[in-house]
Amino acid sequence: MSYTDEIYERVVSKNPNEPEFHQAVKEVLDSLSDVINENEALYRKEGLLERLTEPERIISFKVPWVDDKGAVQINRGYRVQFNSAIGPYKGGLRFHPSVNQSILKFLGFEQVFKNSLTGLPIGGGKGGSDFDPKGKSDREVMAFCQSFMTELYKYIGADEDVPAGDIGVGGREIGYLYGQYKRITGLYEGVLTGKGLTFGGSLVRTQATGYGLVYILDEMLKGAGKELAGKTVVVTGAGNVAIYTVEKLYQLGAKPVAMCDSTGYIYDENGIDLAAVKEIKEVKRARLSEYTSYVPTAVYTEGRGIWNIKCDIYLPCATQNELDLDAVKTLVANGCFAVAEGANMPTTREATEYLKEQGILFMPGKAANAGGVATSALEMSQNSARLSWSFDEVDEKLKGIMKGIYQKVDDAARRYGHEGDFVAGANIAGFEKVAAAMIAQGIAL
Ligand code: NDP
């Protein structure tokens, strides 16, 4: 049995009931097989894959808080500190009822390679809670965040582990978490990223994942002799990533025509009215169904099925496994020629394989959505230096980083004879740096 197959079996048997984690490990191991085979003796001697697939630490804790009715609520909090070979753990916090250890391990594992691809000195981690901020008052969200941080603060620090936002954790939550950290420790340090601009946040961080996605999409299209301007695009989700993806698409001359949230999707053939979406989602925190009261000619459809809308480019920016085989078959049949993942692992394995077989340009999340964490690392640099860079300065750096990621991914794919396979390219390029750092540091992590 090959080393990668052995490791996959070991992961499955040691981590039962963690399907998302298995899925992420399988995808990475499969695409690393050429690199692993080439260095098998060394990697086996080093126990490299065993070490790489085992998180350095998983912290799980109780989060008690009191709701507006005076009732005690209990949630479960986590931090998965996956790999610190190339820098302090870095990765978001997700607050969503679906959060469990499997999901956070898959996200933490992916984060290790993503962070490596940015070229910046950041290790991989992820955390969160099964708390649902939806429908909660600001006071309830604050009570939860304060309780969450009262436990988490013991395990994080500006040079140790630097969490950020993810699904359900935006500027409001980061503010409450940061306030509590500072109150407990007395430290004014860059322990969280995605902070408000008045207390150490970086310009462009809010926009970074969406902007970065469009920058790398543009590079991928250019590499294939195509251009973004004039193309019709479907963007899924209506959260942070989706909104700023749409904003940058417009800036580069493309036409986004559809978006969705967890209850339904909107189709606006004249192009999405982004100001309306921002007001509905960022200000009112309401449902996307309200969009038709802003644009009466648009169509709202309850439920799933956004992939039935004809487009040139499809950008999944909502959640994991949202895009399955049937959906991609429809996309391809309707003429879609490029998919880039704004969300983490939104495309199922079978769907990814199908897209590859059909020769669709496909950029995986760990490369395509790395702009968020890259800008978080720029926020850390500014905090350490006690400086704030201008919007244009950060945006230029982000653009440079996304270009660099495209080049690394493209180059790694070519070196191993997989030209155009950016899944393989991203995994290989991300892995090479982490593996070298782990070997150099001995059996310490
Ligand atoms: P948000 O919480 O801001 O937005 C998520 C959006 O997706 C919401 O509009 C939500 O709908 C929608 N959504 C969630 N589940 C479903 C579903 N099953 N079907 C349809 N729509 C759904 O999260 P982000 O935008 O921050 O994150 C989106 C993805 O991008 C996640 O996979 C995240 O891990 C990834 N990511 C985020 C980064 C960041 O910087 N924020 C960085 C890198 C990756 P509703 O409004 O109804 O809740």
Residue 265 belongs to domain with CATH number: 3.40.50.720
Same-domain pairing of 167 and 219? no
- Spatial distance between the Cα atoms of 315 and 327, rounded to a whole number of angstroms: 13
3-state secondary structure the chain: CCHHHHHHHHHHHHCCCCHHHHHHHHHHHHHHHHHHHHCHHHHHHHCHHHHHCCCCEEEEEEEEEECCCCCEEEEEEEEEEEECCCCCEEEEEEECCCCCHHHHHHHHHHHHHHHHHCCCCCEEEEEEECCCCCCCCHHHHHHHHHHHHHHHHHHCECCCEEEECECCECHHHHHHHHHHHHHHHCCCCCCCCCCCHHHCCCCCHHHHHHHHHHHHHHHHHHHCCCCCCCCEEEECCCCHHHHHHHHHHHHCCCEEEEEECCCEEEECCCCCCHHHHHHHHHHCCCCHHHHHHHCCCCEEEECCCHHHCCCCEEECCCCCCCECHHHHHHHHHCCCCEEECCCCCCECHHHHHHHHHCCCEEECHHHHCCHHHHHHHHHHHHHHHCCCCCHHHHHHHHHHHHHHHHHHHHHHHHHCCCCCCHHHHHHHHHHHHHHHHHHHCCCCC
Same-domain pairing of 125 and 217? no
> Which atom of ligand 1 is the closest one to the Cα of 319?
32
Same-domain pairing of 109 and 39? no
Last residue of a domain, one of 54, 71, 91: 54
**Ligand 1 pocket, residue 163 CB under 6 Å:** no
**Ligand 1 pocket, residue 364 CB under 6 Å:** no
Same-domain pairing of 170 and 269? no
Contact 362, 356 (CB under 8 A): yes
Query: How many domains does one find in the chain?
Result: 3
Identify whether 229 is part of a domain. yes
Report which of 47, 78, 38 is spatially closest to residue 60, judged by C-alpha positions. 78
Same-domain pairing of 279 and 354? yes
pLDDT (0 to 100) of residue 26:
96
Residues with a known catalytic role: 126
Contact 108, 99 (CB under 8 A): no
Q: How far is the CA of 343 from the centre of ligand 1 (A)?
A: 7
Identify whether 437 is part of a domain. no
Q: How far is the CA of 262 from the centre of ligand 1 (A)?
A: 9
Last residue of a domain, one of 54, 73, 92: 54
Same-domain pairing of 69 and 170? yes
Q: Which two tokens stand for residue 350?
A: 């079978």
CB atoms within 10 A of CB 22: 18
Identify which of 93, 209, 246, 277 to mutate to test ligand 1's pocket (most ligand atoms within 8 A of the CB): 209
Same-domain pairing of 164 and 283? no
Identify whether 120 is part of a domain. yes
Q: Tens digit of pLDDT per residue, the chain (445 long)?
A: 899 999 999 999 999 999 999 999 999 999 999 999 999 999 999 999 999 999 999 999 999 999 999 999 999 999 999 999 999 999 999 999 999 999 999 999 999 999 999 999 999 999 999 999 999 999 999 999 999 999 999 999 999 999 999 999 999 999 999 999 999 999 999 999 999 999 999 999 999 999 999 999 999 999 999 999 999 999 999 999 999 999 999 999 999 999 999 999 999 999 999 999 999 999 999 999 999 999 999 999 999 999 999 999 999 999 999 999 999 999 999 999 999 999 999 999 999 999 999 999 999 999 999 999 999 999 999 999 999 999 999 999 999 999 999 999 999 999 999 999 999 999 999 999 999 999 999 998 7
Atom 8 (ligand 1) nearest CA? 239
Last residue of a domain, one of 311, 340, 368: 368
Q: Which residue has the tokens 């039962």?
A: 16
**Ligand 1 pocket, residue 260 CB under 6 Å:** yes
**Ligand 1 pocket, residue 375 CB under 6 Å:** no
Contact 220, 340 (CB under 8 A): yes
pLDDT (0 to 100) of residue 39:
95
Q: How far is the CA of 267 from the centre of ligand 1 (A)?
A: 19
> Which atom of ligand 1 is the closest one to the Cα of 241?
25
pLDDT (0 to 100) of residue 310:
98
Same-domain pairing of 321 and 299? yes
Q: How far is the CA of 444 from the centre of ligand 1 (A)?
A: 35
Contact 108, 82 (CB under 8 A): yes
Contact 397, 378 (CB under 8 A): yes
pLDDT (0 to 100) of residue 144:
98
Identify whether 399 is part of a domain. no
CA 18, 82, 195, 176 torsion: positive or negative?
Answer: positive
Same-domain pairing of 63 and 87? yes
Report DSSP state, residue 340: E
Identify which of 115, 248, 262, 281 to mutate to test ligand 1's pocket (most ligand atoms within 8 A of the CB): 262
Same-domain pairing of 225 and 360? yes
Identify the domain containing residue 20 by its residue range.
1-54
> Which atom of ligand 1 is the closest one to the Cα of 345?
32
Same-domain pairing of 9 and 148? no
Residue 100 belongs to domain with CATH number: 3.40.50.10860
pLDDT (0 to 100) of residue 64:
98
Identify which of 106, 134, 167 to mutate to test ligand 1's pocket (most ligand atoms within 8 A of the CB): 167
Q: Is 303 helix (H, G, I), strand (E, B) or coil?
A: coil
